[in-house]
């Protein structure tokens, strides 16, 4: 039903910059004490919103009801995505996937993180990502936006800006 949105949650696609360099010049893991500006990140952050710039109908429910609130159209399993950032700079990203009738959580990213001038950097060996974060609600949630292809239930694809919102849990 919502295959593309659950795949959309794959961690690389939700960040504005990704690179994979297999060479010996791969950056080292982030380490060291947190700066004062980074102390907002440690903890668990649950996906709490997904907003598209173009109204889409993601559900095959016999009702034509396109909306920009993509999160409200997700099934319970697809809504289960979270980041965990630790004070030792370790970072993990988990998302749930539907396999048959079962929903199971998968570890999709395990690496290190740093926050510099509002940009979150994630590193897992030679795989690097970055996203400009917008903190809200007294630092209890953050958002970032990326250009993505979103597919509706009829398999029609639209390139649009999608904003992801994660809230402290």
Domain count, the chain: 1
- Model confidence over 2-39: pLDDT tens digits? 433 433 444 444 454 555 555 567 888 999 999 999 99
Looking up residue 34, the CATH number of its domain turns out to be 2.40.128
| C-alpha to C-alpha distances, 20 to 74, 106, 111, 124, 126, nearest whole angstrom | 30, 21, 14, 10, 5
Place of tokens 């509002």: 118
Dump pLDDT digits (tens) for 106-127: 999 899 999 999 999 999 888 8
pTM attached to this predicted model:
0.86
Of the candidates 146, 142, 144, the one whose C-alpha atom is nearest the C-alpha of residue 45 is 142
Cβ pair 131, 118 in contact under 8 A: no
Residue 153 pLDDT > 70: yes
| Residue 136 belongs to domain spanning | 3-168
């Amino acid at each position: 039903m919502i295959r593309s949105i659950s795949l959309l949650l794959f961690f690389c696609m939700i960040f504005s910059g990704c690179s994979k360099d297999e060479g010996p010049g791969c950056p080292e893991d982030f380490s060291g004490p947190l700066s004062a500006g980074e102390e907002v990140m440690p903890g668990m952050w649950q996906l709490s919103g997904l907003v598209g710039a173009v109204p889409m109908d993601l559900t095959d429910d016999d009702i034509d009801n396109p909306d920009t609130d993509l999160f409200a159209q997700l099934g319970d399993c697809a809504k289960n995505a979270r980041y965990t950032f630790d004070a030792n700079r370790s970072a993990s990203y988990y998302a749930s996937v539907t396999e048959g009738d079962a929903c199971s959580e998968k570890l999709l990213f395990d690496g290190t993180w740093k926050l510099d001038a509002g940009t979150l950097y994630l590193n897992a060996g030679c795989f690097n990502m970055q996203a400009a974060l917008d903190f809200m609600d007294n630092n209890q949630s953050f958002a970032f936006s990326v250009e993505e292809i979103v597919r509706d239930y009829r398999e029609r694809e639209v390139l649009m800006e999608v904003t992801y919102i994660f809230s402290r849990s």
